[in-house]
Structures are given as C-alpha cells and as structure tokens.
Structure 1
Amino acid sequence: MAKTQLNVRVDEGTARAARERALARGMSVNRYIEELVKQDTGEVGHTFVEAASDFMKQYESVFAEEFGTEREGRR
C-alpha cells in the first residue's frame, strides 16, 4: 500500500503524549497515529471480523463435528 505524507500541527503536550504512547507500545509515532485513525474509522475491527468470519467458514465442519450443529437459535 502506498504511503502519503500528512503534516499536522498539535500543541506540545499532545506531541509529547503521542511520543510517549508510541514509545510505550514499541512503535513509531507515525505508526501510532495510523493505528489510532484505523481504530477510529473501524478498519481494525472490520478486518478482525472478516478474519474471524473466514476462520469460521474454513473450520465450520470441524466445529460441527466437535460440538454438533445445534446452536442457540439454530437447529
């Protein structure tokens, strides 16, 4: 995925907080900000739900074999 440079101006307290939080998470400030925006727009959650759905489709027969096909709301 191509990257685009985005310049923003924030007060020193916000900049300091961003640097500290990024450092605590072991990532760059750029990556930290990118993750915050993804979380805010729901992209991270959407990606997780898609992956979970793919996993369940792939292993549906294994779960059915282990636990049966009877589930709440389905028979």
Structure 2
Amino acid sequence: MAKTQLNVRVDEATAEAARERALQRGVSVNRYIEELVLRDAGEAGQTFVEAASDFMKQYERVFAEEFGRGAAGPGRGAAGGREGHPGKK
C-alpha cells in the first residue's frame, strides 16, 4: 500500500510521549501513530455495531408487532414465539 506523508503539529510533551511509547513497543513513531489511528477507527466501527445490536434488542418487540414476525425472520409469530417447533417455547 502506498504511504502518504502527513504532517501534524503537537506540543513537545505530546511528541515526547509518542517517542517514549513507540520506543517501549519497539516500533517507529510513524508506526505507533498509525496503529493508534487504526485502533481508533476499529473501535468506532465496533461501537456502531454494538449500538445497532442494542437498538435491535430494545425494539425487537416493536418491529415484531409492526411486521408480524420476530426479528429472527419468517416462521416466528408476532410475539416472537417458536410455534411449529415441538418441545420449544
């Protein structure tokens, strides 16, 4: 992958902290910053997925009532039951 140069300005204390952390990890400051950004981007994506999952759990009953089936798809009743599956409630 092609690399792009990115120039940033930070105060000396932040620059020194970045140098120290990179040294502790045995990577360059460039690699350290790149890893921080990638981790942050990944966390944002994970946060979105978790929020969407929580939303669906909270509103599953509303969707089931509106669309006449459970969130798991066809074959489930409006209350999210397991009719048609012997021994399961």
| Common fold by TM > 0.5 | yes
> What is the TM-score when the length of structure 1 is the normalising length?
0.56
Structure 1: 5+ residue stretches without partners: 47-75
**Deviation per residue, 1:4-46 (Å, 9 max, x gap):** 0000000000000000000000000000000000000008x88
**CA distance in 2: counterparts of 1:21 and 1:13, whole angstroms:** 12
CA–CA distance in 1 between the matches of 2:27 and 2:7?
A: 19
Deviations 1:20-75 (Å, cap 9, x if unpaired)? 000000000000000000000008x88xxxxxxxxxxxxxxxxxxxxxxxxxxxxx
Q: Higher helix proportion, which one?
A: 1
Q: Does 1:13 align with 2:13?
A: yes
Q: 5+ residue gaps in structure 2? A: 47-89
The two structures have a TM-score, normalised by structure 2, of 0.48
Q: What is the aligned length?
A: 45
% of aligned pairs identical? 82
- Which residue number corresponds to residue 24 of structure 1? 24
Q: Partner amino acid for 1:22?
A: A
**Whose radius of gyration is greater, 1 or 2?**
2
Distance 1:26 1:3 in 2: 20
Counterpart amino acid of residue 10 in structure 1: V
* Runs of 4+ off more than 4 Å: none
